[in-house]
Amino acid sequence: MKNAIAGWNTTLFAQATTINVNCGADQQSLAGKLTNPGGSFIGWNGVGSNGGTSTTCGPQMQPIGLALLGASGTAIEAGFRQYANQSGQKLRPETSMNWGLGAEFAPTFLKGLDIQATWYQVKINGALRGFPNPNTNSINDPGLGFAYIVPTDIAKAGVDVAGCSNNNTPTTCPEFESMVTKLLADPRNPVNPQIATSVLWINDGATLNAGYIKLDGLDFTASYDVDLGNLGAWNVGINGTYYLHQLGANFVGNPDDPAAALAQDIFHTTLAAVGGIAQNGVESIPRMRYRARLGWSNGALSVTGFMDYQSHFFHTQNAPPNANFQCLAAGGTVGGGTFPCLINGYTNIVPSYYTFDLSLGYDTGEQPVNNYLKHIGIQLVVQNIMDKHPPFIYRIGTGAGNPTAFDISKSDQGRTFGLILTKTW
């Protein structure tokens, strides 16, 4: 079925706004737009000097850019979408087409067994997304060029061609300088406004209707229940999902960025090399997840154990600077070169992840003489009984979370205990 939202109001789509300054994007950054804008336009010819992301940039950190994460209103008010991504001046509702096909097997010759599987496909058109938080990988992705604005983008739109044709001199492009000034004047901006004349590029990471997402996979569930008399009632089951594909195009309809319209499958994709080690045909999120259980009950007592599973994937953070082929000397530990390091064979793989839970229960049922004591349930729940912590990830970026040494998509709470008391009348 096709879905749409009537009476869409863009002011209802609100997000927190974050403004960062990015120092030292490399020379091939912005999918080549900064250094090679094409045509008769002049690209930036400076020397890149890496400096990371913060609210200040030293003069040695070049090229300097501003990055916006948040609601589209901030980007529109700053004029980002007057010359680039003009379709994003007004958000529209996403539309989707969903398909599903299911099957069930519950044989009469083996009562208690039930197996179900459902194939599904969901396609979202005009997906509401943002492409913020530039890092070494994202700014070199040709499919993300539309999310970056440089002076020559304004010239390509036929506006102030004389003043905006040189990415080395953004101050001669008043339209570009106006965007920078307005963003720096935002009351939520932590960046020093004095960098305005040094800014060479802008990352419009605010929300817009960009491209499409098409996901298909298999949901599955299986269970078997059996009563063994004096040995109690037993149950075993599993439910989960296996993703087949997640195709998506970042942006459709931008003639200056045809790569953005190419569909990519995040379950079979090519990520940026880490220190000279290729990462081709890999999953960038877990392909399979499931939760399995084994339970027993006998009268007032019950015990159930659970196992949760997530398959491996490859994260998209930058590699450590002294791993693989990035050292100053062979077998070294100091980064900044092209020789094999002491730490070699490093990739961004995050291993599969298992955790176990346990539930112990007691229910008084009808046994007590006192009515107030009947049907009282006491349940002790222990989550992550092995006290397992998330796997290691080298994460120094601040986008969508703080720098950590573990996978922030998983809880780092460790083992927890819960006590549940219920009364049924």
Q: Where do the domains of the chain lie? A: 2-94+128-209, 288-425
**pTM of this prediction?**
0.78
Task: Pick 195 or 284 by higher pLDDT.
Answer: 284
Nearest to 10 by CA among 104, 82, 75: 75
pLDDT recorded at residue 422: 94
Averaged pLDDT for residues 162-183: 94
pLDDT recorded at residue 400: 65
Rounded to whole angstroms, the Cα distance separating 37 from 165 reads: 9
For residue 54, pLDDT over 90 is answered with: no
Query: In the chain, what percentage of residues exceed pLDDT 90?
Result: 57
70 confidence band (pLDDT: 50, 70, 90): confident
Q: Sorting pLDDT into bands at 50, 70 and 90, what band is 47?
A: low
Residue with the bigger pLDDT between 114 and 42: it is 114
Least confident of 28-37, 62-71, 109-118, 119-128: 28-37
- 11 pLDDT above the threshold of 50: no
Count Cβ atoms below 10 Å from residue 361 Cβ, excluding itself. 18
Residue 5: count of CB within 10 angstroms of its CB: 11
Comparing 1-15, 236-250, 367-381, the range with the smallest average pLDDT is 1-15
Read off φ and ψ for residue 368, nearest 5 degrees. -65, 145
> Cα 337 to the chain's mean position, in Å?
30
Which tens digits make up the pLDDT trace of 73-107? 889 999 999 988 888 888 899 999 999 999 999 99
d(CA 216, CA 413): 32
Model pLDDT, residue 6 = 33
Tokens 């100053």 belong to residue: 328
The average pLDDT across 63-72 equals 83
pLDDT of residue 191: 81
Taking only the tens place, the pLDDT of each residue in 392-401 is: 999 887 666 7
**For residue 126, pLDDT beyond 70:** yes
Cα→Cα distances 25→38, 48, 392, 404, Å: 19, 7, 26, 22
Amino acid 255: pLDDT: 76
**Rounded Cα distance, 411 and 22, in Å:** 29
